[in-house]
Amino acid sequence: MDLDLKGKKVIINGGSRGIGRAALDIFAAEGCDIAFFSRDQKRVTDTVLQLGKLGGKVIGEAFDMNDSNAYKAWLLSAAERLGGCDIFIHNASSSGAQGTMDWELTVRLDMMGAVTGCETLQPALEASGNASVILMSSTAALETFIYPQAFNAIKAAVITYGKQLSQLWASKNIRVNTVCPGPVSYPGGNWATIKEAMPDLYNKTLSEMPLGRFGAPADVANVIAFLGSPRASYITGSNVVIDGGYTKRVQF
């Protein structure tokens, strides 16, 4: 299916590996212009080189979003250099920084990263006339998972924020949805680390996956690309669970 994404302007925070990188691969292949950042300069450079071969504009920079004012400035600069923003994806998380137990870090990255991103980019998104925001949450927000920690609680707050924002922004032609991935494994990711450090937890979790495998970044990225596209023009305020059947709750 042609997602009708050619020429769209995409801004994503955290995009040099895992789900973020897989999403960038899709958006670039669809002909989008892209701006992203990540903390690792080498991964950023490699990502820019690879995505640049697909022909669209690619802006990638090494950046740490812990500084709220610098984060706002980067977002505004990215939108200016791209010539607007049609799709904003809030992907950066304390999980990627191995800080899921750190309340201040998780609030700053996962919650305020979403709020600051949306508020800063609102004028550009309104100007788009057909904009989409995707906020990354987690199945850890939907059911009790391992033990109480900041990541689980704050990711639940992101879902509520996204739902409320979708109601407020619908009249502005800005769609807002959240995505909840289940366990996703890739080289260098959290579950690859857990496999080495806590094999019992890894194997127990794998045994509970109805489809018999962990998710791959592309499994989630494909849904992100669809939600960002005009093909999903009637979807807003939704929370899409992508977990291979891992969660047990029934959602009515």
Q: Which residues of 161-191 are buried (b: 16+ CB within 10 A; e: fewer)?
A: bbbebbeebeeeebbbbbbbbbbbbbeebbb
What's the rounded mean pLDDT across residues 94-99? 78
Mean pLDDT over each residue of the chain, to the nearest integer: 93
pLDDT at 1 over 80: no
pLDDT for 156: 96
pLDDT for 99: 76
Q: Which domains does the chain have, with CATH numbers?
A: 9-184+217-242 (3.40.50.720)
pLDDT for 71: 95
Q: Which residue has the higher pLDDT, 68 or 132?
A: 132
Q: Which residue has the higher pLDDT, 168 or 16?
A: 168
The band of 144, judged by pLDDT with boundaries at 50, 70 and 90, is confident
The band of 182, judged by pLDDT with boundaries at 50, 70 and 90, is very high
pLDDT at 193 over 80: yes
pLDDT at 66 over 90: no
Long-range contacts of 221-226 (CB under 8 A, 24+ apart): 221/19, 221/22, 221/23, 221/25, 221/26, 222/26, 223/179, 224/19, 224/23, 224/26, 224/89, 224/134, 224/179, 225/3, 225/5, 225/23, 225/26, 225/27, 225/30, 226/3
The band of 64, judged by pLDDT with boundaries at 50, 70 and 90, is confident
The band of 19, judged by pLDDT with boundaries at 50, 70 and 90, is very high
pLDDT at 226 over 90: yes
Q: What percent of the chain has pLDDT over 90?
A: 77
pLDDT for 183: 93
pTM of the model: 0.95
pLDDT for 171: 97
pLDDT at 251 over 80: no
At 108-136, the pLDDT tens digits run: 999 999 999 999 999 999 999 999 999 99
Q: CA 224: distance to chain centroid?
A: 8
pLDDT at 154 over 90: yes
Backbone angles phi, psi at 195, to 5 degrees: -60, -40
pLDDT for 9: 98
